[in-house]
Structure 1
């Protein structure tokens, strides 16, 4: 099966600084959940930003469906991020000035989805992941675990082909963590790809394979 997403001899460093990635390669296929592991400071989060087209490698290539994407314009890359990728950041990365619902649906609206339909789907995801909040609630009014599940709702709303997650179970109790991991596998079962940076051995054990960094 052809790779959906691929890093080919990717290198990256922040100026000035020690290289975080040097000649790193891996391929990610539809239908799999992949754990990326390694010591802190090795560049795991940076790798997700490279794979998700938020950063450009200094050397090497990032390919989506076999097509090089690192050389595309910023506008084209932003369009691909909205259409193809869903992100779950380690700190949830919710906009504190906007409601939880607005945080969840913003990417869908950027793509041009109907607000009413996006809100309905967001309600369904919030119910699925046990995020029971009053209308108008802001991110500052929720717990860390709720914020992480809200970020997952946002990532899944557009049914992305690629789901990128950075320590997605770090703030969750075991039952909530199981629910989140089940969501990754449901995503893969529908033909998507999930790439998860994690230190959690229980999460690694439930992935199809592990790639050390």
Structure 2
């Protein structure tokens, strides 16, 4: 359920293009409140994944602004944006985006260690999350040794490890069977209940039906 008060995360007039003269997003605005799960839908090629990268401070818009807690982020230096991203956001990328040269555990711990969190404490929480999502693998296992569905759940563990205030997920149930998808959906709602704004890009009508709000690109 959406909570009262100003949006935790807001897009104000966002425009973006990869090629000159061909806008992918133009003047797009929306607010995302703490406590809600919002679905972003629309045909392929409309910029849904790009929108997540803009909201998550990984891309800068051509024009417009992303505001976090009412603070504009566009003009902040890259180092500050990266620090805010690590401290505030959790990401689940469509292709999981796991580093094949590192173990599953190190992939999950990556952002926590960048933030300077204690490794031992973070590792305990990582193991608990991996167990919860059915991907408690041997310590030396690497992403190349897991299925696509397991990789997506590992990526969710990485995103949840820091208890993010903003959780951005790109097709988080796309490679999952119905039972695993339900576990992931419950985790997204649980994070929202903890006070996070959760934004999910999806083509899954069943997932959309379980979200608090739908935004169509």
TM (norm. structure 2) is 0.97
What runs of 5+ residues in structure 2 fail to find an aligned partner? none
Per-residue CA deviation, residues 26-81 of structure 1 (Å, 9 max, x unaligned), is: 00000000000000000000000000000001011110001100110000000011
Task: Check if 1:145 corresponds to 2:145.
Answer: no
Q: 2:116 aligns with which of 112, 115, 125?
A: 112
Aligned to 1:96: 100
2:42 is the alignment partner of 1:43: no
Q: In the TM superposition, what is the alpha-carbon distance from 1:17 to its structure 2 partner?
A: 5.7
Question: What SS does the aligned partner of 1:96 have?
Answer: coil
- 1:75 maps to 79
Query: Structure 2: how far apart are the matches of 1:149 and 1:112?
Result: 24
Partners in 2 of 1:205 and 1:17 — Cα distance? 36
Q: How does 1:154-173 map to 2 (within 5 A)?
A: 154-173=158-177
TM-fit CA distance, 1:132: 2.6
Kindly indicate whether the alpha-carbon contact (under 8 Å) linking 2:105 and 2:126 is maintained by their aligned counterparts in 1.
yes
* 1:193 corresponding residue in structure 2: 197
Match of 1:30 in 2: 34
Structure 1 residue 181 and structure 2 residue 181: aligned? Answer: no
Q: Distance in 2 between matches of 1:59 and 1:40?
A: 23
Work out the CA distance in 2 between the residues paired with 1:70 and 1:196.
Answer: 22
- Give the Å deviation of 1:16: 3.6
Equivalent of residue 56 in structure 1, options 60, 63, 67 = 60
Q: Which runs of 4+ in 1 moved over 4 A?
A: none
Show the counterpart of 1:10.
14
Q: CA deviation at 1:135?
A: 1.2
DSSP 3-state at the match of 1:195? strand
TM-score, normalised via structure 1 length: 0.99
Q: CA RMSD in A?
A: 0.7
Question: Matched residue of 1:177: which SS?
Answer: helix
Question: For residues 17 and 182 of structure 1, what CA distance do their matches in structure 2 show?
Answer: 41
Which piece of structure 1 moves more, 81-90 or 125-134?
Answer: 125-134
Query: Offset of 1:15 from its aligned partner?
Result: 2.8
- Structure 1: which 5+ runs fail to align? none
Aligned to 1:128: 132
